[in-house]
Amino acid sequence: MFIEERHQAILDIISTNGRISTGEIQEKFDVSLDSARRDLRILEEKGLLKRTHGGAIPARQIAFSKPPKVTCKDIAEIKENYLTIAKKAVSMIKENDVVFIMQATVGYFMAQSLPTDIRIRVVTNSIVIAEELRTKDNISVILLGGEMDNKGTCYDAFAVDMINRLRFDKSFITAACISPEFGLSIQKSQAINFWNAVINSSKETIGLFPTEKIGFESIVSICPANRLDILITDWDASEEDLTAFDEQGINIVVVERE
């Protein structure tokens, strides 16, 4: 196989599976580790993929900088890293904490994994998360109001006004992307005021960002990356990106595959 054919095959695998590891390249194409790494470096230099700690993921255009589509209620469709990050986030919650949990796949799995043996108060702008929590006797829920979007989420001025009247011990947030240069970013500007209000009302802000969101930039910046106190990511995240976040004073937590 010519090197160009191998490179195209690597891109095809990433397009289908959402990632590839250097081990897969070695096994599938019978090449050395150095060759596998060189292939990925060449393809990254061409803007065709983004290297991670153990392989590569797709390169994304700014206009399409969204995490992969997943179904919140079907755990079988959730990538392993999302669930592991959610469990790590839950482990940081203590007795009597007031916490904000955002509407997102990883937030939904936080809600599913919350402990039953301590009393906590959860604030959320998502009716999906509120519904998940409403029958748990040890959890008091505050559901933020306002004009609801088609995902059952409120971000408007009414929700911001409620946020400004609250204080959180910890807030758990995410966004479409995060990069050291552009910070947390999203595709639409409507939620900027909401997310900054959440951060301003939090004693500690914890970002939950799987590898798929690390090092990319969407259209609109919410805030600099160093508004986060802690960044939780997974085993595939690029060392280069994590070093840049660390240099900004963010406490980096990398979860290991279970």
pLDDT of res. 115 = 92
> What are the structural domains of the chain?
3-59 (1.10.10.10), 75-254 (3.40.50.1360)
pLDDT, tens digit, for every residue of 165-198?
Answer: 999 999 999 999 999 999 999 988 889 999 999 9
Cβ neighbours, 10 Å, residue 222: 25
Question: Which residues is 220 bridged to in the sheet?
Answer: 186
Name the token pair of 231. 């960044």
Three-state SS for 92? coil
Judge contact between 209 and 52, C-beta under 8 A: no
Q: Which pairing describes strands 177-179 and 230-233: parallel, antiparallel, or unpaired?
A: unpaired
Whole-structure pTM value: 0.79
Name the token pair of 66. 């969204």
Measure Cα distances from 43 to 10, 58, 135 in Å: 9, 10, 50
**Rounded CA separation 177/208 (Å):** 11
Measure Cα distances from 155 to 121, 131, 160 in Å: 20, 18, 7
**Rounded CA separation 249/228 (Å):** 9
**Alpha helices for the chain (secondary structure H):** 3-17, 22-29, 33-45, 80-91, 105-113, 127-133, 157-164, 192-200, 239-247
Please say if the pLDDT value at position 101 is more than 70. yes
pLDDT, tens digit, for every residue of 201-243?
Answer: 999 999 999 988 998 899 999 999 999 999 999 998 888 889 9
Name the token pair of 181. 């240069």
Cβ neighbours, 10 Å, residue 126: 23
